[in-house]
Amino acid sequence: MRISGDGGRLRVGYHTAAEVGRWTLTRVRAAPTQAYEANATLTDVDTFWSEQGPMDLALVMGSREWRWSNVAPRLSGQSLAVTLEGGPAIH
């Protein structure tokens, strides 16, 4: 499975570490323990908060958000890569 979208955010608590632009989400492992690889461009990065943790990632899926808690993203300039364990919380 591979899906893509536009929009989301990377947060540390209630602080926004980065705004997410275009992203892709690829399932790399199926049940019983799902895992995904997310890659995204970042449109706005807060230098201080992007170096803190733990982080939460929210990706916009139409009128909903898919959220993962306690993620360890790899940030490089204006791009993000992260392995996401388990399924998302959908809000």
Containing structural domain, residue 58? 2-90
Say whether pLDDT at 55 is over 90.
yes
Tell me the C-alpha to C-alpha distance, in Å, between residue 30 and each of 16, 22, 37, 79: 30, 24, 12, 26
Q: Write down the pLDDT at residue 16.
A: 97
Say whether pLDDT at 26 is over 90.
yes
Q: What percent of the chain has pLDDT over 90?
A: 91
Structure tokens belonging to residue 58: 């929210």
Q: How many domains does the chain have?
A: 1
Picking from 8-12, 30-34, 68-72, 85-89, which range would have the lowest pLDDT averaged per residue? 30-34
Q: Which amino acid, one-letter code, is at 24?
A: T
DSSP summary character for residue 62: T
Say whether pLDDT at 33 is over 90.
no
